[in-house]
Structures are given as structure tokens and as C-alpha cells.
Structure 1
């Protein structure tokens, strides 16, 4: 197994997440907690919250997704902006995906959020921008990547507006937007390539 930056991120995330499982102090110290950011300037929480997870299922889902798509996008980003660039893209995905939640909940003491979903979604959607007709398996159901992307964005936007299920859908939505926007700005030729690929449907389900 090649020791990539993606694998390094996965290992670090797993170590920190397993340390936090059943350890309330570690969770409280690292979780994204908007009032603590606002009132005590604990800005580090924008980053540390992306390295802890609610449970093994939450961690596994994010890390498996990152493993399969991160390796592809890591090679793409390294060729454009280097290794540090890829790491910064990932960390920025954690931060940017939490910013809307911060402004919405900075005075809500009981609100907390954790997980790498924002950054992982950024990686996934940057991949979809490059290869919209690739096959993704969603709960073992094969779907073209672009079809999944549309369904995912519509569902996430709807659930973000509706709320009430204790999932930070805002982080998912803004993580996806960050992945698309950053990739397009970094390599503008991605957009005409994406449009060209959309006009040439390829179903290999």
C-alpha cells in the first residue's frame, strides 16, 4: 500500500477519533462549538473538529470515502499546487464548511458539530467535477457520479433548510461548493472539460 498524504490524513484522523471515543474531555476540547469560538477565541476548533467523529460508523463512512477519492484528487492537486497545496485544500474544506454554521449558531450554547464530512465532501465533488460519469456506489446501488451529485445537493440543501436531525447538512453543502469552486479556480480548464464530459454520457453501471 502506497503511503500517500491521503492515507496519512486517514491515520491521523482515526487515531484522534478513537482517542475521543468515550472521552468527553477530548471531545469537548476539540469539537466545533461556536460560542467558545466567539467568546473565548478558540478558533482552533474550526480545524480540530474535523478530526473527531461521533462513532465508528461516522468515522468509517468518511474515511472510506476519502480513501477512494482522495488518492485520485491528491495526485491531481499535487501536480498543480504541490503536497502542501493538497493538505491546505483539505484543511480549508473543514474550515470553510463550518463558517456558515458559526455565524448561524455563534450564540447557541448547546450547538456542537464534529466530523470530516465537509472536507471529504469537498474532495468527492472535486472528483465529480473531473469525472462526472464515473460510477459511484451508494449503499451498493450504482449511480453515475453526476446523478448522485444532483440528488445529494438537492437533498442536502433541503435538509439544511428543514433541520431537526442533528446532522450538519450545511457543512456537507458548503464542503461540496468549496471542492467545486477551488478546483475550478485552480484549473479553469476543468469547467469546459466538465461540460464536454456531460455532453458525452457514458453509463458503465
Structure 2
């Protein structure tokens, strides 16, 4: 006779396993550099696609890594995963929930790559132009206190270009969590949530819309806080697209 183990609604299986795996990776990313000289963040974190450190698999692996200097990064991501994800997994089931989780996480990574491309392509093009024509005019906006007749050694400039492309890296499940937050608002529009500074219950769709606007304004304002705001919005965007596809097919509530 087959045994039956009921699902714990507070910790459905996909949520539980994702949280466990994330904490395992977080602990490993602290221990391995110290005792095995393995920088797991540099290896599995998401690099810019023009970097020689980039690997397409990083679009998945980066989601399981978090800032080792801040426990709050992984704590709040995993809290958000549990807080909003448990109801969604109980509603959709583990398989569909995981599909949604990875699609939104990968989508967030793609948007982050596009953001880097917008940030870095003009400077890279200026470097390449100088290397071919020695015309420093295009480099001047990026270099302080440089004269028009300055000659920069090509090898130094190419080394700088490599360092520039290898510099950006992002980690974290935040993009997927923002996708889950959007799904929660669309699946449970009557649910009410609280903002810390506004002790009044707000319906989930309004809460998510407000949060998205904040992310947009902070993203436009520049990445001065080191947070990938456009990646968060990317998770929401890909989540919205996937939900609309499922809704059109009539499978959203199945």
C-alpha cells in the first residue's frame, strides 16, 4: 500500500527546497574561498555577456547566490519567496511554480545583461575606435583630466577594457522574487498588504504597482546603491508575459 504524505501549506516542497539550496550555496560561497580557494560567486554569478568569465549557465546559477557580506540579502529574498510563494505554489502546484520561478529569474538576468550593454557599449566602442584610429576625442568623456594630444598605450587600454567587461557581476534571487510578487497580486488581487511607513492595508495590485514604480525611479536614477533595479523589473516583466500566455491558453487557473 502506497503511503501518502500531505503537503505542508506553510512550507510546500518547491519553496522548502529552494530555500534550503539557496542557504547551502550562501554558506558554500563563504567557506569555499577561505578553505578551498574557490570563488564560487565569481564562478557562478552572472557576468556581462562580453566578459571572458561569462557562461550562459550563469543565467540560472546566479539566482542561488547572494551577497556574503550581508545576511539581509538572502534573508529578505527567502522571506519574500516563502511569504508570497507558498500560496502560489499551493495554487499552481510545484511544477508550474518552478517553471514560473526560473523563467522570471532568467528573464531578470537577461534584462540585467541589456542594462549592462547600454551602460558599457559606448565606452567599449570608444576604446575600439581609439585602438584603430588613435582618435582620443571619443574617449575624453570617459577619462578625467586628459588632453587631446595624449597618447595612451594600446596594451594598457586593452587591459582596461578587459577589466571593465569583467567587473560587473550580479547575484541573487530578487528578480524571481519580484516575478512571484507580481503573480501574487494577479492571482490574489483581493489580498491586502502593509507598507511599513503606511500602516493601512493596501490591496496587492496597488502595492505591487507602487513597488514597481519605486524600482523604476531608482533604476533611472542610476545604480548608486549597487542594486539591480532593472533586473527586478525584468522579473516582473517576464512574469507578466508568462501569466498572460497561460491566461490566453486558459491554463492559468489549472
One fold, TM greater than 0.5? yes
Question: Whole-Å Cα distance in 1 between the matches of residues 24 and 232 of structure 2?
Answer: 23
Structure 1 unaligned regions, length at least 5 = 194-205
TM-score, L = length of structure 1: 0.80
CA RMSD for the aligned pairs?
2.5
Residue 104 of structure 1, CA deviation: 3.1
Task: Check the 8 A contact 1:74/1:86 in 2, yes or no.
Answer: yes
Residue 98 of structure 1, CA deviation: 1.2
Task: Check the 8 A contact 2:43/2:53 in 1, yes or no.
Answer: no
Question: Whole-Å Cα distance in 1 between the matches of residues 18 and 81 of structure 2?
Answer: 9
Listed as ranges, the matches of 1:65-80 within 5 Å are 65-78=80-93
SS at match of 1:87: helix
Task: Check the 8 A contact 1:93/1:122 in 2, yes or no.
Answer: yes
**Larger proportion of helix:** 1
TM-score, L = length of structure 2: 0.66
Tell me whether 1:102 sits opposite 2:101 in the alignment: no
Question: Whole-Å Cα distance in 1 between the matches of residues 195 and 249 of structure 2?
Answer: 29
Which residue of the partner structure matches residue 75 of structure 2? Answer: 60
Tell me whether 1:152 sits opposite 2:167 in the alignment: no
**Which of 24, 29, 45 is residue 31 of structure 1 equivalent to?**
45
Residue 99 of structure 1, CA deviation: 0.7
Which residue of the partner structure matches residue 117 of structure 1? Answer: 174
Tell me whether 1:128 sits opposite 2:185 in the alignment: yes
Which residue of the partner structure matches residue 239 of structure 2? Answer: 179
SS at match of 2:190: coil
Structure 2 unaligned regions, length at least 5 = 1-6, 34-38, 121-164
Residue 23 of structure 1, CA deviation: 4.8
Q: Tell me how many residue pairs correspond in the alignment.
A: 186
Tell me whether 1:161 sits opposite 2:220 in the alignment: yes
Residue 189 of structure 1, CA deviation: 8.9
Residue 139 of structure 1, CA deviation: 3.6
Listed as ranges, the matches of 1:76-95 within 5 Å are 76-78=91-93, 83-95=94-106
* Structure 2 CA distance for partners of 1:93 and 1:185, relative to 1, 3 Å: same
SS at match of 1:137: strand
Which residue of the partner structure matches residue 8 of structure 1? Answer: 17
- The CA deviation string for residues 120-147 of structure 1, in whole angstroms up to 9 with x for no partner, is 1111110101222312234484432122
Larger mean Cα displacement after TM superposition, 17-26 or 158-167: 17-26
